Chains A and B, each alone.
Chain A
Amino acid sequence: QVQLQESGPGLVKPSQTLSLTCTVSGGSISSGSYYWSWIRQPAGKGLEWIGRIYTSGSTNYNPSLKSRVTISVDTSKNQFSLKLSSVTAADTAVYYCAREIRYSSSWYWFDPWGQGTLVTVSS
């Protein structure tokens, strides 16, 4: 079955760019009606959707983060990536990658999820 694994630095300095990669195994990132997504969760808080990329390369971002976010895909490596610029302490969170499944053109859900990776923004 498809599995996702996040990777990247666990510590980023304020004002710098956070960069994470999600590696997809057990299936091709190019196949199916899937959106490859990033979601984050500050410690002890709820879930915030950051954005997604479709297999075609089209993207959607959360308006609250849109000016700072870039999501890209590398089909040759079966990976997709997140870049978040100009980070502050408020961006400290566990970052999850997830596959959003589109079913019957109407139903969508996130499954599976990566295990999550903690990114701390601190000098």
Chain B
Amino acid sequence: DIQMTQSPSSLSASVGDRVTITCQASQDISNYLNWYQQKPGKAPKLLIYDASNLETGVPSRFSGSGSGTDFTFTISSLQPEDIATYYCQQYDNLPRTFGPGTKVDIK
């Protein structure tokens, strides 16, 4: 299985801050990586696919980059509605695997 790690596991930031989350794969997954947002009590929601492509309707303050084993997810200006846990997920191989998540809240 491809192991996914994320850092940090949690963070607190102020409204308007730039927030960066990193995701690392245990082997080269090219750009076969997605990012999801999960709000409390809700199902995950796709934000970014193929490492850097923004899903339709997702605000442009969200972005993703990277390839190979190292990936970055950025919120350019944190908003109150961005309070959630963010997960990376690889689809280079089966089984599909997710990172452990990064919980983001407002300072």
Interchain CA distance A65-B94 in the complex, whole Å: 13
State the Cβ distance, B105 to closest chain A Cβ, in Å: 15
Q: Are B87 and A46 in contact (CB under 8 A)?
A: yes
The answer to whether A46 and B99 have CB atoms under 8 Å apart is yes
A110-B89, A116-B43 given; A60·B100 CB < 8 A:
no
B74 to chain A, nearest CB (A): 19
- CB within 8 A of A114: which of B32, B43, B95? B43
Q: How large is the interface on B (under 10, 10 to 19, 20 to 34, 35 or more residues)?
A: 20 to 34
Question: For residue A104, which residue of chain B has the nearest CB?
Answer: B50
Which A residues are in CB contact (< 8 Å) with B91?
107-109
CB pair B95–A113 under 8 Å, yes or no, is no
Say how far A101's CB is from chain B's closest CB, in angstroms.
9
Report the count of interface residues on A (CB-CB < 8 A).
Answer: 24
CB contact list, A37-73 vs B, under 8 A:
37, 46-49, 60-64
Contact A49 B96 (CB under 8 A): yes
Q: Are A107 and B49 in contact (CB under 8 A)?
A: yes
Contact B96 A109 (CB under 8 A): no
Cβ distance A39 to chain B, nearest Cβ, rounded Å: 8
Interfacial residues, chain A to chain B (CB-CB below 8 A): 37, 46-49, 60-64, 96, 98, 100, 106-116
13 contacts between A and B (CB under 8 A): A46-B100, A47-B44, A47-B101, A48-B98, A49-B96, A49-B98, A60-B95, A106-B32, A107-B49, A109-B91, A110-B46, A110-B89, A111-B45
